[in-house]
Structures are given as C-alpha cells and as structure tokens.
Structure 1
Amino acid sequence: MATASSKTYIVEHLDPELGTWSELEYLAIARESQEAGAKFCLSSLPETFKVPEALSSIPSFTAETRGVEDLYASDKSRVCLLDPAAAKDLAPEDGEKFDAFLFGGILGDDPPRDRTSELRKKGFEGRRLGPIQMTTDTAVRVTRLVVQGKTPLNEIPYLDHPELKFNKHESTQMPFRYVKGQDGKPIMPEFCENVPGKDMDIMEEVPPPLEINPPLLNAACPWATTLDDLRRLYACPWTGAVTTRTSLIHGFDHDPAKHQYTFFDAGQTGLAPNASINSFGYSPLALESYLGFIKTISDEQSARSSKGFIVSVTGDPEDIERCYKLIATAAQDMKFPLAMEINLSCPNIPNRQPPAYSQDLLSAYLFSLQRAIATGGVNLTRIPVGLKTPPYTHATEYQTLIAALEQAAANTSSGGVCPLSFITATNTLGMCLVVADDGDLLSSPAGPGFGGVAGAPLHPLALGNVAMLRRLLDSNAAKLGHIRVVGVGGVLDEEGFRRMMRAGAHAVAVATGLGLKGVGIFEEIGRGTERRQSQI
C-alpha cells in the first residue's frame, strides 16, 4: 500500500540536451516537489546529459540514467502512468494506491516517439488528466494536487489558453491549460512572467517574404538527400530555390526494410508511371549535416546569389525553436538566403497524427517559433519560415489551420501579423494502398503496401488545397495576406505547373516528377513555359 506523503514524480527525458523552456519547467517541478515533501526524478537520461547546477542543488531532485522499467522492475503496480488514453481519470484515492507518477509523454525522440504508448504496453497502469494539453510542470502540479492535496480533478481551478500580458499594448496567448493561482493568474515558471515585452517588438513586423525566381523548385523528398543531390538541384538554372529533405535535430531512424517508395501508373493504362507511393519518415541525416552541405555549396559560389535554400525540418515544438536558431545563425555565413520549412504533415509516422490537423499542436509550434524569433532579437537576422501542410479534405480542417494562424497573429503586439512567410501545400495523402498482380509494392510501418500517395492522383486535391488556402489567407489580408503558398502535388509537366500557378501558388514545387524524370523536369517545365509565353 502506498503512503500519502512519499510520492515521486518521474519525467522521462530521453534527449541528450535540455532546452531553456524544459529547464525552467523542471526547476518549477523540483521546487514545488520539495515544498510538498515529494521527490522529482528525471529518468532515462543519456550518459552525456549535463544536469544544470540550479536543478541538481534542489534536494528533492534526482537524475537517473536508468529507465522506469529498471527503477521499478520489482513492482510496476506502484507506478501510475499519466496517459491520455487511459480508461480512468486520476482521483484522490490513487494517492493511496501508487507511490510514483510517471510522465512518459513524447519527450526526447526525433520525431517525438509515443513513449506513453510504449510504457502502456509494458504493463504500467494509467490515469487521465483531461483532454486539454498541459505543459509538463502543469501536468505534475495537477497530479500533486489530486494525489497529495486530495482535490478531485474536476475541482481544480484551470485557465485554458490564457492571455499573458507584457504591458498594456503587448500580449501573447499561451496554447496550454494551466492551474489558476490565488491571484487569478496562471501558475507558470518564472521565465513566462519575466518575458521582456520589448523582445516581442520584432513580431509586429511583416516577416521577410520567400522569394523564388523562377517560381520553380523541388519539394522536400528523397531526391534531395545527399550533397550531390543538392548540388545538382542548385546548379540547375531552371530552379529558383532548393528544398532539402526534411531533417531532424538528431536524424531519423531510417530502416530500408520498411521505409520504401515505388512508382506506378495511376491510370493502369500500361503507359509510363505517373505516381508514387512511399512509406518514408524523414531523412536519416541530421539538420547539422544539411547545414554543412549548404555551407559547402555556398563556399563553391564565386558571388552572392538570390537563389537560396529552404531547409525543411520537423520535431517537437522545442526542437523547432532550436532549428530556427541554428538555421538563422548559419544564414549569416552564406552567399545566398536561407528559409525554414516546418514539416507538420508526414502521414507515415505510426501512432502520430500529422500535427497540422490539430489547432492545439499548430499553436504550440507557432508559439515556439515566435519565441525563437523574439529571443533571437537583433542578434539574428530574421529568415522566412513556412509550414508544410497535409492534404485537407474538409472545411473544418482549413478552419483549424486558419484559427491557429490567426491566434499566432493575435499573440503579437496590437495589429500584429502571423509570423509565417509561406505555406507549402501539400504533402502526400496517407494510408493509400497500391497492389500489383504479384503482391504488395512496398513495405510500411502501417502494414504491407500502405503509404502516402503523390503524383497524378494527388494533383486535383493539391490544386484545391492551394486555391482554398489562397482564398482564406486573402480573406484576412491584414494578418495573413502576406503568406505565400508554394504549391506541390502531382506537377509532372508544364501543364501541371500552369494549373498550380492559376490556383494561386507563388511558386511550384516538384517531388514525384523529380524522381521520375530527374533534374531535367525543371528544364522541361521552364522551356514549355517560355514557348507558351512567346506565342502570346
């Protein structure tokens, strides 16, 4: 039987580094645990992890390289897993049943791994904290109030998505649930209360535009993985920019046995392939590798150029903040401009919905981006940033995106604008199946044959996404009208390029066409456009 006073709150931290945001949340947890007579443990820490002195000096805190499976190997029943998929809500009587409360979350991995799901399968009993996303320190705070303070979950005073005011003119809306303090304000780490409003002044500005001339480029895809790939794309005179394959801070665990692609004839006419299906995640190369490739190409140029690179990245919101600072810092030493694309749209990550379908997740990413821009201040030249979106098939999905963009605009000073410069629409359509007479065409984490479809079958949907996004962005021109749309999806020739431009694209990106025809597809499209213009 557990005792009411000997509680341990465990957060699994798998990342070798600790961001400022997480550090201050952990400090808040450790201090509050100390005051409550409880313990706070970071488990599964990498051997190279350096615990900040301010954290290690708090008596309630312990750091463990062992995982919770080892720490409680003799009695898993003493551990409660805080799990949004659990059958029961956390209740005061759980304080009598459990000694330790585990927050597995999606911390640490790139892309964020559903660690909670893994722990659930290992037999840890779960409890829910409610439907609205909380910060880590809030989740621990709520758990402590329930199991030590004996306050039922539904009687805790909450503030959802509170507005944080810096001064009478400046504020930001936090995309999380917080506990309401006695002063009526959300309880949050000291860093939130001390954010200097003047650092948000930069957010009043319209972000730098994404310039692509000619308006033709590659999309993030397998044919933009290596240094040689990027060199060929950059050397092509018909491309106005080059996009890297989507990367992560630490790289993606690519497995050729299950991450595959193939081409096929969508019309089953027996003619040449015009479509692709893939079960890829992201690039096995880390962001640092791509910044190195780009620096090599920059050093090879004899003069400065307006033709630059779009560095496609993904990860959790804190990773995106780090990515922005790394890319913006690297941009200062290049002979051409850099931009950043945040890919929130891959359909092939098991147990993880593309974040661009969720307003709360979109808001969390945009908030991290705004924080990165604001804290960079005058020390970093601001670079264009965009989102890569999944295919939207219903009006409510567009409304989700637009609501998040408008909220981001509202987070800035009065009259602020959304911090994005562009949207890349659209990624592949997931959970598709292509079957050949002799069996499945590829392996996939989702099962044999399943993957994301691109090329000709995606083209009408991609055109619709581009046209609808352009219309919705222009309908709120003051805050969103500056956002440009990069159209991608099924462009295989000059006709497809023209359709995408007519739909409202600022520039057109090619992926499947690049895989089918090589870099020559850009010349084919470019020369076709020139011939048509000469006939007008």
Structure 2
Amino acid sequence: MARPEYIIEHMEEEEPDAPANFPPWALLEYRHMLYHVGEGSTVHFTSLSQASLDELAKAFAAPLPTLTQKRAKFELHAKSVTTLAKERGWAMKYICLLDPKAPYALSVADAGVHPSSVAHDHPFTHFLFGGILGDHPPRDRTASLRELGFPSRHLGSVQMSTDTALGVTKRVVEDGLRLGLAELTGQDKADTQLDGVAALTWVDRPTLEFGRGESVRTLFC
C-alpha cells in the first residue's frame, strides 16, 4: 500500500512579486517536515509566491547537518492545493485537513495502514496543513481551508507548530501510535486502548534551557 503524502498550504499573505518572508526559524520548521515524514513519501508546499518558492528551494538544497535519517521528497508549487488536486486527480474526499475545529480526532486507521476498533470512513491519501508562520493567539486562519469542504481531523486541544502537527500525524497514521489524550476518552470515533501499537507520549509547552539562568517556555506543544 502506498504511503500517504502531505501538503502544506502556505497561508502567509503574499503578493506574487513580494520578497520572501521566511525568518530562519520558519525555514528550519519547513525543513524539519521532510525529516518527520522520511524517505518514501512526498511533502507538497503549495500557494507559494515566486520569491518564497525560490527561498525554499535554496533552503532544501542542503540537508540539515544534525540529522542523519533520510528525508522525504518535496515539491514546491505556486498553485493552491485545490488547483493542484484538480490537476493531479486527487479527490477532495481523500484529502484530510488537520483542523483544531474538526469534529473527530485523528485515528491510527485514517491512512488505511492500521485497523481501529471504531468505525471510520475510507482512508485518506493526503494530509493537509495550513502553513502558518507564528500565530499566537490563534486567529483561525485554517478557516479558509475549512470552508473549501475538506474532511477533517484534529490532534487535541493544544496548539502545535506546523512541523509538530505534521510529525504527530505521521506517527499516528503511519506508525500506529494513537493520540492517547485523556481529553479524547469516550469521544465519538476516538481510538481506544485497543487501537494502534502504543500511545504517544506528550510534553506540553516544554521549557527550553539555553544556559545558566536562561530559558524559555514555548507556547506550543
């Protein structure tokens, strides 16, 4: 069975001829996504201005020196996800939007790789994320994708960076690690302890230590 692919719809408001607006941490986040997915699948970056497309192509040209695992392939697109899907023949019902306001949590069964004790719809072939470069408090910019009618799933109530959300999604639907969040207990279509190979372990809003007396607590999972 083919692995699912992943789509990052770049949602920063950019004019077609505007300069790229990628701070170093944002480029690192986008580069991390390729390693979260790993060899054997593709990450599509859509709705890029020409400057952003060029900037990402340059950033992706070299591997991250601290990581040894093989990364996913990538494709950079000026087209939106809807235009690309139409051209590639990807049916919308098989593209899952990761949306904090989705009615159901992501399941180990959602890519058709692992079974679930709970009834689910057809497996998805693509998982779609809104690429938002820093948004706290959240402004619900995923709404513009939600309004297009994609089926959707959520990852719990804690906000995540886009690369973390992608990594969690891959671990759930491909590696079979259920979300395992207490808040999902008893919810409709949520995985149970019978599902998957194990549960994910979470660290919410971790504190990063930089040196003596210097640390920062992140706002995200």
1:42 aligns with 2:64: no
- Return the alpha-carbon distance in structure 2 between the equivalents of residues 27 and 140 of structure 1: 12
- Return the alpha-carbon distance in structure 2 between the equivalents of residues 24 and 106 of structure 1: 13
Higher relative CO (Cα under 8 Å, sequence separation at least 6) belongs to 2
Percent identity reads 37
1:103 aligns with 2:100: no
Alignment of 1:13-24 (within 5 A): 13-15=10-12, 16-24=20-28
Distance 1:143 1:60, change over 3 A: same
Correspondent of 2:203 among 159, 163, 173: 159
Aligned-pair distance for 1:34?
2.8
Aligned-pair distance for 1:99?
1.2
Q: Secondary structure at the match of 1:165?
A: strand
Distance 1:115 1:72, change over 3 A: farther
RMSD (CA atoms): 2.3
- Return the alpha-carbon distance in structure 1 between the equivalents of residues 84 and 134 of structure 2: 19
- Return the alpha-carbon distance in structure 2 between the equivalents of residues 126 and 103 of structure 1: 10
Correspondent of 2:59 among 49, 54, 60: 54
AA aligned opposite 2:25: W
Mapped contact 2:11–2:132 kept (Cα < 8 A): no
Distance 1:48 1:169, change over 3 A: closer
Alignment of 1:196-235 (within 5 A): none
Aligned-pair distance for 1:90?
0.2
Mapped contact 2:171–2:177 kept (Cα < 8 A): yes
- Return the alpha-carbon distance in structure 1 between the equivalents of residues 79 and 30 of structure 2: 18
Aligned to 1:30: 34
1:92 aligns with 2:108: yes
Mapped contact 1:107–1:115 kept (Cα < 8 A): no
Distance 1:113 1:162, change over 3 A: closer
Aligned to 1:10: 7
- Return the alpha-carbon distance in structure 1 between the equivalents of residues 62 and 81 of structure 2: 23
Distance 1:172 1:115, change over 3 A: closer
Mapped contact 1:7–1:100 kept (Cα < 8 A): yes
Aligned to 1:76: 92
- Return the alpha-carbon distance in structure 2 between the equivalents of residues 166 and 136 of structure 1: 23
Larger radius of gyration: 1
Distance 1:127 1:113, change over 3 A: same
Alignment of 1:104-503 (within 5 A): 104=130, 106=132, 114-154=140-180, 155-177=199-221
C-alpha distance after superposition, 1:244-264 (max 9, x if no partner): xxxxxxxxxxxxxxxxxxxxx
Aligned-pair distance for 1:107?
5.2
Aligned-pair distance for 1:66?
0.9
Unmatched tracts of structure 1, length 5 or more: 178-536
Unmatched tracts of structure 2, length 5 or more: 13-19, 64-71, 113-122, 181-198
Structure in which a larger fraction of residues adopt helix: 1
- Return the alpha-carbon distance in structure 1 between the equivalents of residues 108 and 21 of structure 2: 35
Mapped contact 1:105–1:114 kept (Cα < 8 A): no
AA aligned opposite 2:80: G
Distance 1:161 1:14, change over 3 A: closer
C-alpha distance after superposition, 1:135-169 (max 9, x if no partner): 11110110000011011111211111111112243
- Return the alpha-carbon distance in structure 2 between the equivalents of residues 121 and 172 of structure 1: 36
Distance 1:161 1:13, change over 3 A: same
Aligned-pair distance for 1:65?
0.7
- Please, what TM-score do these two structures have when normalized by structure 1? 0.30
Aligned-pair distance for 1:106?
4.7
Aligned-pair distance for 1:51?
2.7
Q: Secondary structure at the match of 1:94?
A: coil
- Return the alpha-carbon distance in structure 1 between the equivalents of residues 143 and 125 of structure 2: 21
Aligned to 2:66: none
Aligned-pair distance for 1:105?
5.7
C-alpha distance after superposition, 1:312-340 (max 9, x if no partner): xxxxxxxxxxxxxxxxxxxxxxxxxxxxx
Distance 1:65 1:113, change over 3 A: farther
